[in-house]
Amino acid sequence: MKRVCTALALIILLLPAAYAGASENETLRYGGGGQGAVVFDGPLHASKGFACNDCHLSLFHTAQRSLIAFQDHFKGASCFACHNQVNVSHECGFCHRKFNPAPLSVTFAMADSPQGLVKSPIPAHKSVQDLQSPLTYEGASTIGTKIMPEAAKTFTSKSGIPFGAIGGAGAGAGLNAVANGRASFGGLASAMSEAEKARVVAWQIIGYDVLGVFAHPSNPVKSLSMAQLKEIFAGRAVDWKQFGGPDLPITVYSERLSGGRATVRAFREMVLGGEPYGKVVELDDAVDCIADVGRDPGGITASSLSFASPDVRALAVDGALPQKEAVQSGAYALKRPLTLITLRPTGNIQAFFDFMLTPEGQEIVGKNFVPVK
């Protein structure tokens, strides 16, 4: 009997170490908390010399401050036991700023309800070589073609962290690629919906894209109101003479309506108020739309201003041209956030997110868009 008691005591003493060892070799995702879903990157913490008990015994000693034991994290217990904005703290920085005074640069997705502990769909890093695996991007072509090539090259030259594929298949494709673990991070070029927030862990706005409304240079119509744009793109206005132009049919060009493109969705929300588009000529991407309007005196299209060309003319909207000053003052209303999204806001991905908010990163954004800082 004495031997049994001794063995039990030894097991109890070793339990915290066993749990710590497990977590330090895994990447874990916690579904709920005061600031939302949280990713714990055990190997990253371990590589920096941190053990689980550095936080859990010195900051949240179970006997003194916490309602959830360290071991309970591995029994599916809810994070809300601590992080419910009542007990301990709902601020991520309560722990992290004790070790790192730099402000958090990502916004964590708010969870609607506690979901317990689940394994991350992204495999944990297991070696230094894994930490140098190329970063990959998929998502909005606005970001993929106008920001990522230069940003990736500059970031790699400064950090040594390599980049792999940089796609531009659209915001919908990027969201799916991130959610399914096929891309390190993605990009959206419209305000995030609650459904989109629920599919990722963290996001960060790096700038704002200005949507331009483009017509053929020979068209004498130089300005339209938001109400007039709605009539045109909803298909109720069909001739330019209705707006002081020539007696010429209006042809609306658009990226594919079912292609998940952020421009299509953003314009529909901002101008159509959620109404469906009317009759449009659907093309593969914004470059094609701009090119066709440049050849069609009756054409019109909505596109990121970054795709503007000398073959088309940007129209004023409600009397304001799509210029930086008008965008910043709010006089020109057609703008949308450029947002990076990820499931793992840690390690190399976090380093890139941080870089995009530096003066150098914001300068790259500012070449075609309005920087966030």
Which of the listed residues 119, 137, 155 is the one where a domain comes to its end?
119
Q: Which of 119, 151, 185 is the last residue of a domain?
A: 119
Residues 159 and 293 reside in one and the same domain: yes
Instruction: Identify the pLDDT of residue 108.
Output: 36
> CATH number of the domain that 230 lies in?
3.40.190.10
Instruction: Give the number of other CB atoms < 10 A from CB of residue 12.
Output: 9
Same domain, residue pair 115 and 133: no
72 and 192 in a common domain: no
- Listed in sequence order, the residues at least 6 apart from 167 whose beta carbon sits closer than 8 Å to its beta carbon are 136, 137, 138, 139, 144, 173, 174, 177, 183
Task: Tell me the C-alpha distance between 189 and 335, whole Å.
Answer: 10
Higher pLDDT, 197 or 229: 229
Same domain for 167 and 81 = no
Q: Poorest-confidence range of 104-113, 245-254, 348-357?
A: 104-113
- 133 in any annotated domain: yes
Give the amino acid at 163: F
Task: Decide if 14 is inside a domain.
Answer: no
Q: What is the pLDDT of residues 61-101, one digit of tens each?
A: 444 444 555 555 555 555 544 454 444 344 455 455 444 44
Q: Which of 79, 95, 119 is the last residue of a domain?
A: 119
CA distance 167 to 328: 29
Whether 266 shows a pLDDT value over 70: the answer reads: yes
188 bridge partner residues: 339
Average pLDDT on 322-338 reads 87
Answer whether residue 119 shows pLDDT above 90.
no
Does some domain include residue 3? no
Average pLDDT over residues 226-243: 97
Residue with tokens 């159509």: 272
Please indicate, yes or no, whether residues 64 and 185 belong to a single structural domain of this protein: no
Determine the pLDDT at residue 69: 58
Contacts of 285 (CB under 8 A, 6+ apart): 141, 255, 261
Q: Give yes or no for residue 9 having a pLDDT over 70.
A: no
Overall average pLDDT of the 92-115 stretch: 39
pLDDT of residue 158: 95
Same domain flag for 190 and 329: yes
- Count of domains in the chain? 2
Domain of 49?
A: 28-119
